[in-house]
Amino acid sequence: MAAGEWMDAATAAAGPVAMGGAAAGAALVFMLAGLVKGVVGLGLPTVSMALLALWMPTAQAAALLIVPSLATNLWQVRPWRGFSALLRQHAGMQIGICAGTWAGAWWFGAPQGAGARAALGAALVAYAGWSLAGARVPTVPARHRGWLGWVVGAATGAITAATGVFVVPAVPYLQALGLQRDALVQAMGLCFTVSTLALGAGLASQAGLPLPALAGSVALLLPAIAGMALGSRLRGHLSPEAFRKCLMAGLLALGLGMLLA
């Protein structure tokens, strides 16, 4: 589907959130998705899209995701007092994400391609299974982090443009930096935020964004934030090893969801 057709479909499908049971169901879905994201730092799009698709068109579900996804990514970057240091540390990676995403959006158009998503899902399953089996990601030497961060960012951006998924290879690379639990979650939040904004800008340059879709999306922001706040509190009670296993389980579920979609 071309970029313009994808945007037209999303705009047409994204009416007001249905009243009654459908609205309550959507709120519960976003609260659960926020909870998962609060614990492991990712998974809100996967959980929400998988559950919302049980009773609404995919285009409408995607439209409802816009504001909660961006807002929870920004929330994840906190605490703001360390934001400038975080940005300096990962600046090359963020520049690479923007460059790769914009080049990919120009080349591919809107995220599409079942084959690309299935291949990415298989890679996520393999990586998560490998890690859950006890393997560890090798640490990236400090002398290589400048150029490698840019390359990883560009690759992540290209994959984002093709599939709409921000995870690979950004998350494995951040793990390879040896970041502690909260620092890893914060860095993932930064990458996901930049990826979301870069993809939106890239698609806007191709076909314009579906602004009417934002109305229904805003209504689901509160339950997503509430779920994420609860998940963040739960994360504080996890040991580093338990957090690693939860993160890998999240990646495994994401990969399986992409394979089975």
Residues 225-256: pLDDT tens digits? Answer: 999 999 999 998 999 889 989 988 988 988 88
Instruction: Report the b/e string of 195-226 with b at 16+ CB within 10 A.
Output: bbbbbeebbeebbeebeebeebbebbbebbbb
Q: With pLDDT > 70 as the criterion, what percentage of the chain qualifies?
A: 81
Nearest of 135, 136, 121 to residue 168 by alpha carbon: 121
- What's the confidence (pLDDT) of residue 39? 92
- The pLDDT value recorded for residue 137 is 73
pLDDT for 12 equals 43
| Model confidence pLDDT, tens digit, residues 182-212 | 899 999 999 999 988 888 777 666 555 555 5
Instruction: Choose between 5 and 245: higher pLDDT.
Output: 245
pLDDT of residue 214: 66
- The whole-model pTM stands at 0.77
Mean pLDDT of 8-33: 66
